[in-house]
Structure 1
Amino acid sequence: TARAPAHDDPDPEPQGTASPTAGEDPPAPASSEPATACQVRYRVVNEWTDGFQATVTVTTARALDTWRVAWTFRDGQRVGQMWDAEAAQSGSRVTAGATDYNSSVAAGGTFAFGFVADRHGANSTPYAFSLNGRDCAVA
């Protein structure tokens, strides 16, 4: 049997390739990366006149062999002691690094650490949380 001409074919074979027309943005490439690398929960556990105790709980979207969490204080707070992480502070920027016993975290896993800090006046919630250099959402 003879095949009908292409213009009569109800299911024509695709021809060529599609591309955005001028002025349109190309579609974003598909990614298996989550929108955020992590989610942080910062909680003040206790507070007194010139100091406070806080915990930081982090949920990571990806498996980690090691981790480093950083944030920025707003009101001049200074970390004095930290547990379940190694602390470093430069100005208002604080970094908490994994210890030998808690450096590995499974994808979708959670880890936590705590600290005490000095404060003078306000004790606003910190901002600019990151995990291994990637921004984190704050819960």
Structure 2
Amino acid sequence: MAPTRSVSTFVPTQVVFDGMPHTRWWAFEDRRTNFAEVSPDTTDVGKLMLMEFALVFANDWFVVPWTLPVGVLARVRGIAVTTVFNERLWVEPVDQLAGTQEWQSWSMFALTSQGGGKPEPELALLPKAPKVQKGPGLVVPPGG
């Protein structure tokens, strides 16, 4: 199947979640989420990454509405960004930049290339879950 090219125009939305630290200093937060109660083990990398994202880098991330069908391999060549001053910038994936050293081109979502070279900036949406658990519905009596 030949690859298709798509171009979309959208306004990115900032990532927000309950208990997100306030971006301004000296602002009170609502206590709905208590990150102090999260106690990850030394090998619990997932919790550590989530806490670092939530507490340090959360206000640096944006959500981009890009819908893809299931079972495709999407390759992102770059993003064209238009600023409020009507400047148009082309942003490429960091590992595609010239002179990037190997340790600087790490990516969580990159697929390994067959030839052992640098991975392409691709996102795979697999057609199904590896295992689905099904069972009868449970009825819980009130107060039980």
Is the structural similarity TM-score above 0.5? no
Where relative contact order (Cα < 8 A, 6+ residues apart) is larger, the structure is 1
Q: Which has the higher strand share?
A: 1
Normalising by structure 1, we get a TM-score of 0.25
Normalising by structure 2, we get a TM-score of 0.25
Q: Which has the higher helix share?
A: 2
Which has the greater radius of gyration?
1
